[in-house]
Amino acid sequence: MPFIFENSTKDAALLLQDVATELQTKDLNKAGRIFRAVLQSIRDRLSVHDAIQFAAQLPVFWKGVYIDQYDLDKVPVKIQDANDWINYIRNKNAFAANNDFQQDEEITAAFRAVFQVLQRTMPDGHLQKIKQSLNEDIQQLLAA
């Protein structure tokens, strides 16, 4: 089976465009920073096994972003409540924290937007398992 880079690039670009649309921004750099921050936050909250299964569902480019700076010795990260989760996402990327996330509500909306895109692109049962691995307090952020 040939590996066609153009198809991988197209899949990654379409996913980013979907995230940007959900975030209601035309700035693809901003959408990418936010997507990375949320993806890596979700990754860090999961066991290594679940994180790798999650990565398998992403386009090749986003798998690389997802795995970048992954420290197996520090996962899963313990998050006590929604406020800790919001701060974790904020701190995942200093540039995003200073420019893309001015208020907690923006982080909550970004988390919800990314999760909605993932729901449209990933097998249903797998994402439900990921959601259940999050504290109930964090799950409530998705329902708001």
The answer to whether residue 5 is domain-embedded is no
Work out the average pLDDT over 74-89: 93
**Is residue 75 predicted with pLDDT exceeding 60?**
yes
**pLDDT tens digits, one per residue of 11-29:** 899 999 999 999 999 999 9
The answer to whether residue 53 is domain-embedded is yes
**Is residue 1 predicted with pLDDT exceeding 60?**
no
**The predicted structure's pLDDT at residue 144:** 64
The answer to whether residue 33 is domain-embedded is yes
The answer to whether residue 14 is domain-embedded is no
What whole-number distance in Å separates Cα of residue 53 and Cα of residue 23?
Answer: 25
The answer to whether residue 2 is domain-embedded is no
The answer to whether residue 42 is domain-embedded is yes
The answer to whether residue 3 is domain-embedded is no
Confidence of residue 127 (pLDDT cuts 50, 70, 90): confident
The answer to whether residue 7 is domain-embedded is no
CATH code of residue 138? 1.10.490.110
Work out the average pLDDT over 89-99: 78
**pLDDT tens digits, one per residue of 15-70:** 999 999 999 999 999 999 999 999 999 999 999 999 999 999 999 999 999 999 99
- 56-63 LR contacts (CB < 8 Å, sep 24+): 57/121, 57/122, 57/123, 57/126, 58/15, 59/8, 59/11, 59/12, 59/15, 60/8, 60/11, 60/12, 61/8, 61/9, 61/11, 61/12, 62/12, 62/15, 62/35
The number of distinct structural domains making up the chain is 1
Structural domain harbouring 34: 26-143
Q: How many residues in the chain?
A: 144
Which residue in this structure is represented by tokens 């010795």? 73
**Cβ atoms of residues 90 and 59 within 8 Å:** no
**pLDDT tens digits, one per residue of 103-116:** 899 999 999 999 99
